[in-house]
Amino acid sequence: MKLSALEKNGVVVLEPKGKIMGGPDATILHDKLHEFIENGKKKVVIDMAKVEWMNSTGLGILISGLITLRNNRGELRLANVTGKIQSLLTITKLITAFEAFDSVEDAVKSFQD
């Protein structure tokens, strides 16, 4: 997995790319989130458009991010969840834990509403 980040209207947008399967993947996102939290940036959108698939390690990373941000009075939202990941979120019932939006723009806008 590769990870890039940008900011839109005060919201951090993280763009993971590739497959999230375990090992080094787990620390990359965790470290990035903590870096933003330490800089006072706690509104985060993860753009899933370029994630091919993930296994339970990837789901654990998303949950860890959500909990970390909420514990720091922040929030994590998802955008562009693709078919394979959508079905994993559904069968694990995690779809109920995350707010997901059809586009990054909608997810960013939701923080301003």
Partner 1 sequence: MLQPALFFRMESKMKKPTIIGNSIRIPSSQDYLVDIDSFLEGILRGYGMGESTIADIAISVTEIVNNSIIHGNKSDIRKEVSVSIAKRNSEIEITITDQGEGFDPTAVENPVEDKNLMREVGRGIFIVKSLMDSVTIDAKKHKGTQVILTKRI
Q: Which residues bind partner 1 (CB under 8 A)?
A: 19, 21-24, 52-57, 59-60, 63-64, 66-67, 83-84, 88, 91-94, 96-97
For residue 10, the minimal CB distance to partner 1 (Å) is 27
Dihedral over alpha carbons 104, 49, 2, 110 (to 10 degrees): 20
Number of H helices, E strands in the chain: 4, 6
Nearest to 62 by CA among 9, 14, 5, 105: 14
For residue 112, the minimal CB distance to partner 1 (Å) is 27
Select 86 or 109, whichever has its Cβ closest to partner 1: 86
For residue 47, the minimal CB distance to partner 1 (Å) is 19
